[in-house]
A and B are shown apart, each in its own frame.
Chain A
Amino acid sequence: MTARRLAAGGRIDRTRSLAFTWDGVPLSGFAGDTVASALLAAGVRVVGRSFKYHRPRGLFGAWTEEPNAIVDVTLGEVEEPDARATVVELCAGVAARGVNGRPSVARDAYGVLDLAHRFLPAGFYYKTFLRDWPRREARIRAMAGLGRVAGTPDPRRFASRSAQCDVLVVGAGPAGLAAARAAAASGLSVIVADDRFIPGGSLHWRAATIDEQAGADWAAATVAALAAQGVRVMARTTVFGAYDHGAYGVLERAADPPAGWAAERLWTVRARRTVLAPGAIERPLVFPDNDRPGVMSADAVLHYLRVYAVRAGESAVVATNNDSAYEVALALHAAGTAVIVADLRPALPEAARAATAAGLRVMANTAVLGTIGRNGVRLVDLGPPDATSARAATMRVAADLVAVAGGWSPTVHLASQSGFRPRWDAARTAFVADTLRGDQHFIDAADIAGALEAGHAAGVAAAGALGRTVALAAPRTPPPAAAAPLRALWRVPIRGARQWVDLQNDVTADDIALAARENYASVEHLKRYTTLGMATDQGKTSNVNGLALLAEATLRTIPEVGTTTFRPPYTPVTLGAVAGLRHGRLYAPWRQLPAHAEHAALAAEMREYGGWMRPACYRRAGEDAAAAVQREAAAVRGGVGLFDASSLGKIAVAGPDAATFLNLMYYNEVATLKPGRIRYALLLQETGVVYDDGVVARLAPERYLLSPSSSHTQGVLAMLERWHQTEWPQLRVAFHDITAAWATFVLAGPAARAVLAPFTDIPLADDALPHMAVAEGRIRGIAGRIARVSFSGERSYEVSVPAGYGLALWQALLAAGAPHEITPYGVETSSLLRAEKGYILIGTDTDGMTLPDDIGMAASLRSKSVDFVGRRSLLMPEARRPDRRQFVGLLPADPATVPAVGAHAIERTADGGLRSLGWVTSAFHSPALGRSIALGMVQRGRALAAAGAVVELYHLGRITRARVCAPVFFDPTGERLRA
């Protein structure tokens, strides 16, 4: 390794040396370095192994366009796979590892794959493993691929933010800053987002004089002036996606976040106008063995030299087809690198004059015909661009760097994400974005002078579109020298040698020709067949060369070939940033019951039910959950149980037309319900499917209280609102979700009334408050409500008090019930008690096909004459099929075995197969019956139950038997409810 850091210069902080490791080897760099610049400074040449052939690869670019330097980065507990070394800011203690190399990218055992490259052309996997991909997938993935995912949770914190502005400027290079300056001068609110560490863009490595200052100084002064005007200038911030109506996805990375601070913030910025000033990316040149470490973008070479003070090579060939490389050649020469310039163009341009004057050897009509060197360029063959054989080389030079300048591709991605395809501009040999969404301005300039002028004009235009004027002159810069045109040469016409187009995906010029021969002539097909332009760099350097070669191979023009579709994100976005805080406990925050602390004190087993944390059961020492459920259920039937039902939905419905409206909504008749009475009712979807069940209480002639299932409360409320607003807006009725305002406890069991009586002034005598009655009154002096409804089959009172009194009431009821051995019981016990009674649990016993008649509720369809929601659907042929699945009870032949929920009831077909008749939906051991019971949905189930038929139950290959019966196992006449 050769140290390549210059003694002075660059934008690094030489007072802060940072230690890091590369594949386990300790190295050091400076603050301000990227991992890539530190590796280059340390003389590391091989930074990766190619995806398919495991070829050694070095740095090509200096920023997000980098195709080769894919590294896994570890810093403390943070592991980031497949990071691009060129954009990872160096910090102390970083461990970086090359990917796809075993044991390391420097000495990779799979390197032998490259010898077999003739047998691994484009489409190799498709062709070879069409039939037994599943068997081979694991091995292929181990050989071809990228980094390793840690598999541990990401400890970083991520945040989400929103912002609005009049003008969003994307990019803070000369164009973006000029635009922001103009827009801000008009008094508009402006946000500038730039993905680099420091605003200024190419002004940090391309020479410029603006308003009599050095370019970088002008950038710093402009940023300071913008900040003083209240413009938010965001560094390390990528605008990765353009969405509808001026919305942009923006990822902001914190430089060095304090503990607990967000590492990245995902912004949604809504802008009235947007100035896109993203700059341009340099294209490679395509020639034989152009993938060796040491072949680099000329612009990247200049970037490393001036920003990081790193010389990319001792002796360089600068290969170019345009003028922009001459600044690079001169800078390398000034830094002490021996430089030869190979210009593809037939005659030397004006720009070559300064290089020649400086003593550089500059050759016209010269191309690189090949490179030699095992783990990096050592020798370079030069010769005429029209050479058809490597033997045509006229010169072999020693060089460890080939700086290639293949022309510039404007970064049209964001502009094109809105659906406007970029246009091929033959004069500029580039795709340009000149058809834009109405709220966007795109700046596309060939040089800094053009960028300043166009940027200023865009800022003025954006302000003008919002009715503002700009009284500010454009930044001044000396006029640039006239540039000579570029010479497009998409490959050297030498056959047989591999000329790389897409370094990240190992796609060669021959692969593209092969794909074309195999009729993958559409650019979208080409991409998928060869993988050109895929993966982390999305073809930022390779796409145009690939399209041009496809055009040549198919005898079409580049516009005829077109581009693939541009979609967000422009660069990879951390999934953690997309999730933000919406994960884990915060994804859907759990709701707690008013008496949560009491349940916790009783060591309840808390589980999540429909977003609520509720006690499943209350385990005692030495008891498992199943035993606790059995004990609690027996205690309810034998004495009294206490159940926290506060999560049960409570929707207040009020208005003169409340009865009329609810009668249109509910399947069951609820308009005739007398005040003080309760009815069980189903709510259907318009398709007739049972959506929810619950009790409807009429508190007063114009006042109802609905009790939807805990998890359906929001859905029921939304449904009521929608039908009211869109179908029956003339009805005077209003709805309010009061679930959280009330604590509701159920006292159930023969001793329930005795426990409750001392608490209330509401008469509890059976003639005053019979089953299915409700009364409002005082509970320990507080306005409350008692509803006599039962989900257990026992005498049961639902007591409701304002939520704040819930905890105290729970404690008081437990204390008062002590003489009766009152037993708190949980959701699982409640579910067992209701199963013994055959009460359905919506979503457990029913599904998205269940109609009322299927669960034995056919009467309303016959008796109700209003067009309630879902009525017409129940008259459809499908609803009247005789072989529908019906809700039944199942008594297992073996009373000691509880069948699996989901087990199929089956019949044998004539050919000896098994056919499902339905399935088990609930199954328990019943303490009341001392045996197993089950509920299920079975075809023609009611007829089977009437006949006492025995069916087979099939589960995971085992068959058991059960007798079909009516779905009620305990107290079928309901005596316990009333007595």
Chain B
Amino acid sequence: MLLIECPWCGARDEPEFTYGGEPAVRPGPATEVGDAEWTGYLYLRGNEKGAHRELWCHSAGCGQWFVMERDTVTHATIAVVRR
């Protein structure tokens, strides 16, 4: 169970948070985005071993989404960023 540093509330237990996956930049406008590019945005993620950027929401707390950079091997928190 991770101890997550909410950038607004401070350190809280993982069950207070919702995981949102790797942030992806939404391509657009829709009429100009190719099928492959859109598929990549929807489904393809880097899933890096090591430093990994993730979206988290303090859903049982302040409700804010933020980006956490985390080491997926050691589970150490590298940085949390307010949006």
Cβ of A266 to closest chain B Cβ, rounded Å? 13
Please measure, in the bound complex, the distance between the C-alpha atom of A80 and the C-alpha atom of B63, giving whole angstroms: 43
Question: Knowing A686-B42, A729-B83, A877-B35 touch, does A247 contact B30 (C-beta < 8 A)?
Answer: no
B59 cross-chain contacts in A, Cβ below 8 A:
718
Residue A268 interfacial (CB < 8 Å): yes
Task: Encode contact with A along B6-33: 1 for CB under 8 Å, 0 otherwise.
Answer: 0000000100001010010011111101
Could you tell me if B65 and A873 are in contact, using CB atoms closer than 8 angstroms?
Answer: no
Please measure, in the bound complex, the distance between the C-alpha atom of A204 and the C-alpha atom of B2, giving whole angstroms: 38
Could you tell me if B13 and A270 are in contact, using CB atoms closer than 8 angstroms?
Answer: yes
Residue B75 interfacial (CB < 8 Å): yes
Please measure, in the bound complex, the distance between the C-alpha atom of A336 and the C-alpha atom of B64, giving whole angstroms: 72
B3, B35, B57, B65: the one within 8 Å of A270 (CB) = B3
Residue A875 interfacial (CB < 8 Å): yes
Question: Knowing A245-B75, A726-B23, A729-B83 touch, does A687 contact B42 (C-beta < 8 A)?
Answer: yes
Task: Tell me the chain A residues, 672-700 only, with Cβ under 8 Å from chain B.
Answer: 686-687
Please measure, in the bound complex, the distance between the C-alpha atom of A721 and the C-alpha atom of B57, giving whole angstroms: 10
Task: Encode contact with A along B38-76: 1 for CB under 8 Å, 0 otherwise.
Answer: 110010000000000001010100011100000000010
Could you tell me if A867 and B57 are in contact, using CB atoms closer than 8 angstroms?
Answer: no
Cβ-closest chain B residue relative to A241: B1
A244, A725, A729, A875: the one within 8 Å of B3 (CB) = A244
Please measure, in the bound complex, the distance between the C-alpha atom of A162 and the C-alpha atom of B2, giving whole angstroms: 14
B27 cross-chain contacts in A, Cβ below 8 A:
872
Please measure, in the bound complex, the distance between the C-alpha atom of A243 and the C-alpha atom of B63, giving whole angstroms: 25
Could you tell me if A872 and B65 are in contact, using CB atoms closer than 8 angstroms?
Answer: no
Residue A174 interfacial (CB < 8 Å): no
Could you tell me if A721 and B63 are in contact, using CB atoms closer than 8 angstroms?
Answer: yes
Could you tell me if B30 and A871 are in contact, using CB atoms closer than 8 angstroms?
Answer: yes
Cβ of B65 to closest chain A Cβ, rounded Å? 4
Interface residues on A, range: 20 to 34
A567 cross-chain contacts in B, Cβ below 8 A:
none
Could you tell me if B30 and A243 are in contact, using CB atoms closer than 8 angstroms?
Answer: no
A244, A729, A876: the one within 8 Å of B1 (CB) = A244
Cβ of B75 to closest chain A Cβ, rounded Å? 5
Cβ of A868 to closest chain B Cβ, rounded Å? 9
Could you tell me if B65 and A722 are in contact, using CB atoms closer than 8 angstroms?
Answer: yes
Could you tell me if A725 and B30 are in contact, using CB atoms closer than 8 angstroms?
Answer: no
Most buried by A among B1, B33, B42, B64: B1
Please measure, in the bound complex, the distance between the C-alpha atom of A268 and the C-alpha atom of B59, giving whole angstroms: 20
Could you tell me if A872 and B23 are in contact, using CB atoms closer than 8 angstroms?
Answer: no
Could you tell me if B30 and A867 are in contact, using CB atoms closer than 8 angstroms?
Answer: yes
Residue A727 interfacial (CB < 8 Å): yes
Residue A246 interfacial (CB < 8 Å): yes
B29 cross-chain contacts in A, Cβ below 8 A:
867
A725 cross-chain contacts in B, Cβ below 8 A:
64-65, 83
Could you tell me if A872 and B3 are in contact, using CB atoms closer than 8 angstroms?
Answer: no
Could you tell me if B28 and A247 are in contact, using CB atoms closer than 8 angstroms?
Answer: no
Could you tell me if B42 and A873 are in contact, using CB atoms closer than 8 angstroms?
Answer: yes
Question: Knowing A718-B59, A867-B29 touch, does A247 contact B65 (C-beta < 8 A)?
Answer: no
B64 cross-chain contacts in A, Cβ below 8 A:
725
B26 cross-chain contacts in A, Cβ below 8 A:
727
B3, B30, B83: the one within 8 Å of A245 (CB) = B3
B28 cross-chain contacts in A, Cβ below 8 A:
867, 872
Task: Tell me the chain A residues, 687-720 only, with Cβ under 8 Å from chain B.
Answer: 687, 718
B55 cross-chain contacts in A, Cβ below 8 A:
726
Question: Knowing A872-B38, A873-B38, A875-B30 touch, does A244 contact B2 (C-beta < 8 A)?
Answer: yes
B20 cross-chain contacts in A, Cβ below 8 A:
722, 726
A877 cross-chain contacts in B, Cβ below 8 A:
35
Please measure, in the bound complex, the distance between the C-alpha atom of A867 and the C-alpha atom of B42, giving whole angstroms: 15
Cβ of B16 to closest chain A Cβ, rounded Å? 12
Question: Knowing A726-B83, A871-B30, A877-B35 touch, does A245 contact B1 (C-beta < 8 A)?
Answer: yes
Cβ of B24 to closest chain A Cβ, rounded Å? 10
Cβ of A657 to closest chain B Cβ, rounded Å? 17
Cβ-closest chain A residue relative to B67: A726
A873 cross-chain contacts in B, Cβ below 8 A:
38, 42
Please measure, in the bound complex, the distance between the C-alpha atom of A245 and the C-alpha atom of B77, giving whole angstroms: 10
Cβ of A591 to closest chain B Cβ, rounded Å? 18
Cβ-closest chain A residue relative to B25: A727
Cβ-closest chain A residue relative to B23: A726
Please measure, in the bound complex, the distance between the C-alpha atom of A687 and the C-alpha atom of B41, giving whole angstroms: 10
Task: Tell me the chain A residues, 165-193 only, with Cβ under 8 Å from chain B.
Answer: none
Cβ-closest chain A residue relative to B18: A718
Cβ of A637 to closest chain B Cβ, rounded Å? 43
Task: Encode contact with B along A866-906: 1 for CB under 8 Å, 0 otherwise.
Answer: 01000111011100000000000000000000000000000
A871 cross-chain contacts in B, Cβ below 8 A:
30
Cβ-closest chain A residue relative to B4: A245
Please measure, in the bound complex, the distance between the C-alpha atom of A872 and the C-alpha atom of B41, giving whole angstroms: 11
Please measure, in the bound complex, the distance between the C-alpha atom of A246 and the C-alpha atom of B76, giving whole angstroms: 11
Cβ-closest chain B residue relative to A724: B65
Cβ-closest chain A residue relative to B75: A244
Task: Tell me the chain A residues, 593-629 only, with Cβ under 8 Å from chain B.
Answer: none
Cβ of A40 to closest chain B Cβ, rounded Å? 40
B65 cross-chain contacts in A, Cβ below 8 A:
721-722, 725-726
Cβ of B78 to closest chain A Cβ, rounded Å? 13
Could you tell me if A268 and B1 are in contact, using CB atoms closer than 8 angstroms?
Answer: yes
Task: Encode contact with B along A223-255: 1 for CB under 8 Å, 0 otherwise.
Answer: 000000000000000000001111100000000
Could you tell me if B42 and A247 are in contact, using CB atoms closer than 8 angstroms?
Answer: no
B18 cross-chain contacts in A, Cβ below 8 A:
718
Please measure, in the bound complex, the distance between the C-alpha atom of A897 and the C-alpha atom of B50, giving whole angstroms: 60
Cβ of B14 to closest chain A Cβ, rounded Å? 8
Cβ of B68 to closest chain A Cβ, rounded Å? 13
Cβ-closest chain A residue relative to B14: A244
Could you tell me if B1 and A247 are in contact, using CB atoms closer than 8 angstroms?
Answer: yes
Please measure, in the bound complex, the distance between the C-alpha atom of A722 and the C-alpha atom of B27, giving whole angstroms: 17
Task: Tell me the chain A residues, 749-777 only, with Cβ under 8 Å from chain B.
Answer: none
Cβ of A872 to closest chain B Cβ, rounded Å? 4
Please measure, in the bound complex, the distance between the C-alpha atom of A686 and the C-alpha atom of B42, giving whole angstroms: 8
A686 cross-chain contacts in B, Cβ below 8 A:
42
Please measure, in the bound complex, the distance between the C-alpha atom of A876 and the C-alpha atom of B31, giving whole angstroms: 11
Please measure, in the bound complex, the distance between the C-alpha atom of A867 and the C-alpha atom of B23, giving whole angstroms: 19
Cβ-closest chain B residue relative to A877: B35
Cβ of A821 to closest chain B Cβ, rounded Å? 47
A-B contact pairs, 23 of them (CB 8 A): A243-B1, A244-B3, A245-B3, A246-B3, A247-B1, A247-B3, A247-B13, A270-B3, A721-B57, A722-B57, A725-B65, A725-B83, A726-B20, A726-B55, A871-B30, A872-B27, A872-B28, A872-B33, A873-B42, A875-B30, A876-B38, A876-B39, A877-B35
Instruction: Tell me the B residues contacting A by CB distance below 8 Å.
Output: 1-3, 13, 18, 20, 23, 26-31, 33, 35, 38-39, 42, 55, 57, 59, 63-65, 75, 83
Given contacts A247-B13, A718-B18, A726-B20, 20 further A-B contacts (CB under 8 A): A162-B13, A243-B1, A245-B1, A245-B3, A245-B75, A270-B3, A270-B13, A718-B59, A721-B57, A721-B63, A721-B65, A722-B20, A722-B65, A725-B64, A725-B65, A726-B55, A871-B30, A872-B30, A872-B33, A877-B35
- Top-9 shortest CB links A-B: A245-B3, A872-B30, A725-B65, A247-B1, A867-B30, A244-B75, A871-B30, A872-B38, A867-B28
